[in-house]
Structure formats: structure tokens, C-alpha cells
Amino acid sequence: MILDKFGLKDKVAIVTGSNTGLGQGICRAYVEAGAKVVGVSRRPSDETAAQCGKNFHNVIADLFSLDVIPTVIGETLEKFGRIDVLVNNAGIIKRQESIEFSEEDWDSVLNVNLKTVFFLTQAVAKQFIKQNSGGKVINIASMLSYQGGIRAPSYTASKSAIKGVTMTLANEWAKYGINVNGIAPGYMATNNTQNLRQDEERSSDILARIPAGRWGTPEDLQGAAVFLASSASDYVNGFTLAVDGGWLGR
């Protein structure tokens, strides 16, 4: 049955940034689809754990440093015995006029949003190859993977790079049965956009450009995340899917 291809029964997924927002929504969707989920977060993902139940395990790790990668991989294998899916969702943003943007804010964003994403993905891909099982990698990109934006130069750089790296890794790893794809969320009602949503003028300008007429929610991303993690997407490689209420088509 075609619907069986969308299931994640007995799959093991790592989802970074699991304590709130989009990551929390993806964790919940994966558990509902039958997967076991390891959520990675700087702070305890207690709310996510309560929503997901026994098939969720939380690893506390600060992805600013590459040093935590062996811990993430090791705890996942110790708890569930394998890895089938990686969702690189964790990310940070620093907002400032580019003319005043600091080296510290540049480096902090690129470390979390790009450097750790690449090397965590590399480590997971090595495990996929060791298992001889293939696997799924889903990188959370952004509307700023396609556009310049304003007042977020390091975030734009990191998310543009994520889209490019997604294609590169797909080119190299498809031969191992590893699918690397991305999701570019539109303007979502999450912690990262709280300041924008509270700015009446900016929020109004943004909503005027979204054909769907509303901010997105974590639930809006769940279908795409399940699809790209499932066998229904086995012939999808190197593509970044926009889930944006029509923003890019405007």
C-alpha cells in the first residue's frame, strides 16, 4: 500500500534543536509515524519528552562545539542500536545592521548553523555506511537560502550554504543509498521570529507577502519532514522543499 511508504515504523531519528518550535514538532511527528527519536538540545527537552513518550530520548549537547558529536552518536546507538534519519534543525540567528556586525556574531552563527551541521552529518553518514542500510538526512534551510534578507548576514550566509551543501552531499552519497534533502520553512511562529511578530509594521509587511495569509506553525512542517524521512522519498536527492505558504511564488 502506498501509505505504508510514508511510515517510519522502527526507524531511529536524530533531531537537533528538539526542545521547542520546529524541532519539537518534527520529533512529535516522527514518533506518531512509528519512529524512535533522539532529540538533541542545549536545555532539557522536557515538554517534547512529555509529548513523545517512551520512544523519545534527550541528549543534552551544545552544538556550538564539534566535541559533542561522539556523544550524540554514541548515546543514540546505546539507546536504540542504529541510526536511520538525521534532521539538522538546530540553529541560531543574530540580528544587526551589516555595517556594524561583529566577528563574534558571525562566527557563532556559522559554527552552529553550518560547521557542526556538516561534521555531524559526516559522522552520521559514516554510521549509515557501516550499517549498509542507507539513510535520510534532512537539513533545515530557510527562505534566506533563496533571498538576501536584512540585518542577518551570518544567518543568510549559513542558510545559503546549507542549501548548497545539501546538493553536494546528495551528489556524493546517493550511491550509498543516502538521501540528503532540505526543507526551507517560510515565516514560522517560533522563538526565532518572536521579535518580528511583535513588530507590528514588520509583521504586517510579512503577512502581506504570504499568499496563505498567516504565519506558519511547526505542524505545517511535519508532513514534509515525514515524507523526506520515509521510503516515499527514496528517489528525491539534493532538493530543498519550501514550506512557506507561497512566499517564494509571490
**Which positions are catalytic?**
155
Closest CA to 42 of 186, 225, 215, 191: 191
Residues 45, 51: contact at Cβ < 8 Å? no
Closest CA to 136 of 182, 67, 172, 202: 182
User: E strands along the chain, which residues?
Assistant: 12-16, 36-41, 56-60, 85-88, 135-140, 178-185, 240-243
3-state helix, strand, coil in the chain (%, to 5): 55, 15, 30
Q: Which amino acid is at 135?
A: G
Listed in sequence order, the residues at least 6 apart from 25 whose beta carbon sits closer than 8 Å to its beta carbon are 217, 218, 219, 221, 222
Main-chain dihedrals φ then ψ at residue 220, nearest 5 degrees: -65, -20
